[in-house]
């Protein structure tokens, strides 16, 4: 199975990079895993709704350019479904067995995910109603992918 995380913006914080690298190393024996960073659109802090849409659309084009046609796309968005760790494990297991072995999780930029990317997604996932920095979400997601792999293998990490 190949699991990719596509995220907007370059991850700069060393503690986040180190954490992601640790989980990526732990995943290596089990699945192929990679993170793809697409550039964020430079914009001032205060934007009109129309300007926000332009920013999201440009970032969305960059995201869509990275997604292969056969990939199963899961967009992280506040209006997505809430899954438990076991739900994520089950979804990955089902996809690997009956669907596609290429899963792409998309984490948008600070303004969210473009409508075109949401339309491309087969599923929408929400990690809760709290707002988390999109950079931190990468670490949380890769840890949950690792946890899902361990659950599916019946190994004790997830306890």
Coil, helix or strand at residue 67: coil
* Eight-class DSSP state of 40: P
CA dihedral 101, 107, 150, 17 (to 10 degrees): 120
pLDDT digits (tens, 9 = 90+) for 23-60: 999 999 999 999 999 999 988 888 999 999 999 999 99
Determine the pLDDT at residue 83: 96
* C-alpha closest to that of 136 among 23, 19, 39, 24: 19
* C-alpha closest to that of 157 among 91, 86, 90, 103: 86
Residue entry with tokens 């809760």: 128
* Eight-class DSSP state of 68: -
Adjacent-strand bridge partners of 102:
2
**Mean predicted confidence (pLDDT) in 132-143:** 93
pLDDT digits (tens, 9 = 90+) for 64-111: 999 999 999 999 999 999 999 999 999 999 998 887 889 999 999 989
Determine the pLDDT at residue 159: 58
What's the pLDDT band for 158 if we cut at 50, 70, 90? low
């Amino acid at each position: 199975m190949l699991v990719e995380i596509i995220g907007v913006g370059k991850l700069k914080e060393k503690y986040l990079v180190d954490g992601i690298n640790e989980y990526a190393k732990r995943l290596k024996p089990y699945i192929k895993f990679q993170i793809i960073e697409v550039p964020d659109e430079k914009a001032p802090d205060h934007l009109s709704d129309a300007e926000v849409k332009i920013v999201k659309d440009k970032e969305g084009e960059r995201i869509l350019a990275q997604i292969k046609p056969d990939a199963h796309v899961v967009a992280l968005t506040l209006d997505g479904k809430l899954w438990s760790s076991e739900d994520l494990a089950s979804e990955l297991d089902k996809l690997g067995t009956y669907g596609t072995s290429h899963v792409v999780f998309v984490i948008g930029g600070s303004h969210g995910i473009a409508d075109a990317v949401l339309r491309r997604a087969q599923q929408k996932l929400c990690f809760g109603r709290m707002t988390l920095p999109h950079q931190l979400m990468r670490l949380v997601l890769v840890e949950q992918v690792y946890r899902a792999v361990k659950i599916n293998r019946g190994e004790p990490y997830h306890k």
